[in-house]
């Protein structure tokens, strides 16, 4: 399939978007994503071949579709790899999962795929969760550590065995310690953080993402051999991982750098980064620095959308916006939230995993509509407004429904940086002062705000 370049589109996606606290959190998997809305509802989009969206079907969606009708979701994780599943917590401490269950990663005691959320057991004291390639990790309020799913390469952290016959289809406690605070499941390996800031790892250690130079397989949780204490945050990816230090929020990277996924931080004299959030994907990574700017490294595009891999081996900044709050990345795609609850996505979009109503790849962040404006039975939104000409040179004309007034407009670049704002005359916007490029036009009507893309020649 040839890459579709967003700058050459003749027809542009128009989506309804309201900026006030639309989204609370987002998680990007291998080819699907989920997000929790501002009202604690749960939404999903992308590949649904295994039921990983949880919407009761196996039909994929290129725009957010609501998962059930519950409005008490707290945390959600989209698992990676071809055996995709989803893991979630509710505010009442119950644990839920759905999607591919080949290895028991749903955790409901079966090996049958689930297309809707099912509760895992009856416990109400789950604290933290993480979904990996085809296994899951969790901690409870009492500090105990649990794992289930694929036992390949000892990713579950028990020494009982490896491979078929040793997979676990219900949560099984790992060891007896009760000092675990956070978990992160990678591609057939696992990381866990203790309350004292010490990092442990186990599973498949190809490329050394675990931080142990003692072999390819780590059968049970082992403390990192160096630089292993004083950590407040961990994230595991394909075969690389990140730590964040408690004392100064310093980023520490581990593992493979084949696609630049460690961001050029592993040499003497290399750049250092101080971060407030991080995430490691398959062959990608992203960070939000302490100044609230967004940065991305690793494989950007290349499979299966294009024959040539596009990558960067150093962190590159997305635009100049400094209002980013959290970030999640998967397989060559990512998503980030702003402090005001806006959701933006970028990268590979073959399955509609950017959630913007298209299957067009984007090398720059583009907005995802507010969940309250979506139709849960359709992935198509019919816009109220349109603009022409597009592309434009001097001005653009806005067409609006009868008996409707435009209260205000705002033009930003794709990073969210303000370029023009104010009122308009005769529904025309003068764009002569803008540089050539792609822009977003926000149109504030009486009851909604719409965003339209346009190109300035």
Q: 3-state class of 8 per DSSP?
A: helix
3-state class percentages of the chain: helix first, strand second, coil last, to nearest 5: 0, 45, 55
Calculate the dihedral angle through the C-alpha atoms of 243, 245, 249, 253, rounding to the nearest 10 degrees: -30
Q: What is the 3-state secondary structure (H, E, C) of 131-160?
A: ECCCEEEEEECCCCEEEEECCHHHCCCCCC
CA-to-CA separations, 198 to 64, 194, 214, in angstroms, rounded:
38, 5, 18
CB within 8 Å of 241: residues ≥ 6 apart: 184, 186, 191, 201, 209, 210, 211, 234, 235, 253, 254, 255, 280
Calculate the dihedral angle through the C-alpha atoms of 138, 75, 101, 156, rounding to the nearest 10 degrees: -20
* Alpha-carbon gap, residue 240 to 329, rounded angstroms: 13
Closest CA to 296 of 266, 268, 328: 328
CB within 8 Å of 354: residues ≥ 6 apart: 62, 333, 345, 346, 347, 362, 366, 368
Sign of the alpha-carbon torsion through 393, 384, 381, 410: positive
pLDDT for position 440: 78
pLDDT for position 375: 41
Burial of residue 440 (number of CB atoms within 10 Å: 0-12, 13-18, 19+): buried
Task: Look up the pTM and report it.
Answer: 0.78
Which residue ranges of the chain lie beneath pLDDT 70?
Answer: 1-20, 163, 302-308, 372-384, 414-417, 421-423, 446-449
Name residue, tokens 């302490």: 290
* Residue 403 region by backbone torsions, left for phi larger than 0, else alpha for psi between -120 and 50, else beta: left
* Alpha-carbon gap, residue 348 to 262, rounded angstroms: 20
Closest CA to 320 of 453, 419, 250: 419
Element (H, E) at 421: strand 418-422
Omega before 389 within 30 of 0, i.e. cis = yes
Closest CA to 77 of 195, 184, 210: 184
Element (H, E) at 77: strand 73-78
* Alpha-carbon gap, residue 286 to 298, rounded angstroms: 9
pLDDT for position 378: 37
pLDDT for position 414: 57
Share of the chain above pLDDT 70, in %: 88
Contact 367, 344 (CB under 8 A): yes
Q: Which two tokens stand for residue 396?
A: 């653009």
CB within 8 Å of 403: residues ≥ 6 apart: none
pLDDT for position 257: 94
Contact 53, 45 (CB under 8 A): yes
pLDDT for position 29: 96
pLDDT tens-place string over residues 382-431? 456 888 888 889 889 988 887 778 877 888 775 456 787 655 778 889 99
CA-to-CA separations, 17 to 184, 322, 325, 377, 449, in angstroms, rounded:
32, 20, 18, 18, 6
Q: How far is CA 302 from the centre of its chain?
A: 19
pLDDT tens-place string over residues 129-185? 999 999 999 999 999 999 999 998 999 998 777 767 899 999 999 999 999 999 999
* Alpha-carbon gap, residue 232 to 53, rounded angstroms: 31
Calculate the dihedral angle through the C-alpha atoms of 374, 380, 381, 387, rounding to the nearest 10 degrees: 150
* Alpha-carbon gap, residue 349 to 326, rounded angstroms: 21
Give the chain's length: 457
């Amino acid at each position: 399939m040839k890459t579709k370049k967003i700058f050459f589109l003749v027809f542009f996606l128009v989506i309804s978007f309201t900026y006030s606290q639309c989204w609370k959190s987002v998680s990007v998997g291998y080819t699907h994503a989920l997000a929790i809305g501002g009202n604690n509802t749960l939404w999903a989009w992308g590949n649904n071949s295994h039921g990983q969206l949880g919407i009761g079907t196996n039909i994929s969606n290129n725009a957010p579709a609501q998962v059930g009708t519950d409005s008490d979701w707290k945390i959600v994780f989209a698992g990676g790899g071809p055996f995709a599943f989803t893991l979630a917590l509710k505010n009442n401490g119950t644990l839920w999962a759905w999607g591919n269950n080949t290895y028991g990663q749903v955790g409901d005691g079966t090996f049958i795929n689930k297309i809707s959320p099912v509760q895992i057991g009856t416990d109400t004291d789950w604290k933290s969760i993480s979904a990996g390639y085809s296994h899951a990790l969790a901690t409870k309020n009492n500090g105990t550590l649990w794992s289930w799913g694929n036992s390949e390469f000892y990713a579950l952290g028990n020494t009982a065995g490896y491979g078929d016959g040793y997979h676990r289809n219900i949560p099984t406690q790992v060891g007896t310690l009760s000092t675990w605070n956070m978990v992160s499941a990678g591609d057939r390996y696992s990381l866990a953080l203790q309350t004292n800031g010490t990092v442990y790892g186990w599973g498949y250690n190809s490329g050394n993402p675990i931080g142990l130079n003692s072999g390819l397989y780590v059968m049970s949780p082992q403390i990192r051999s160096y630089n292993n204490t004083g950590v407040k945050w961990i994230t595991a990816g394909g075969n690389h991982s990140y730590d964040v230090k408690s004392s100064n929020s310093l980023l520490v990277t581990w593992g493979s750098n084949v696609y630049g996924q460690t961001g050029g931080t592993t040499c003497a004299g290399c750049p250092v980064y101080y971060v407030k959030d991080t995430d490691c994907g398959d062959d990608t990574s992203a960070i939000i620095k302490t100044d609230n700017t967004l940065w991305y490294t690793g494989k950007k595009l290349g499979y299966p959308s294009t024959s040539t891999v596009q990558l960067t081996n150093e962190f590159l900044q997305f635009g100049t916006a400094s209002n980013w709050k959290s970030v999640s990345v998967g397989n060559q795609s990512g998503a980030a939230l702003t402090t005001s609850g806006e959701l933006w996505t970028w990268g590979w979009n073959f399955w509609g995993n950017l959630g913007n109503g298209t299957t067009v790849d984007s090398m720059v962040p583009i907005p995802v509509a507010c969940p309250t404006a979506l139709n849960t039975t359709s992935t198509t939104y019919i816009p109220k407004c349109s603009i022409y000409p597009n592309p434009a040179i001097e001005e653009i004309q806005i067409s609006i429904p009868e008996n409707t007034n435009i209260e205000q407009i705002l033009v930003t670049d794709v990073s969210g940086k303000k370029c023009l704002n104010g009122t308009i005359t005769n529904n025309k916007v003068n764009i002569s002062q803008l540089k050539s490029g792609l822009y977003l036009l926000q149109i504030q009507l009486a009851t909604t705000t719409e965003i339209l893309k346009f190109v300035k020649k």
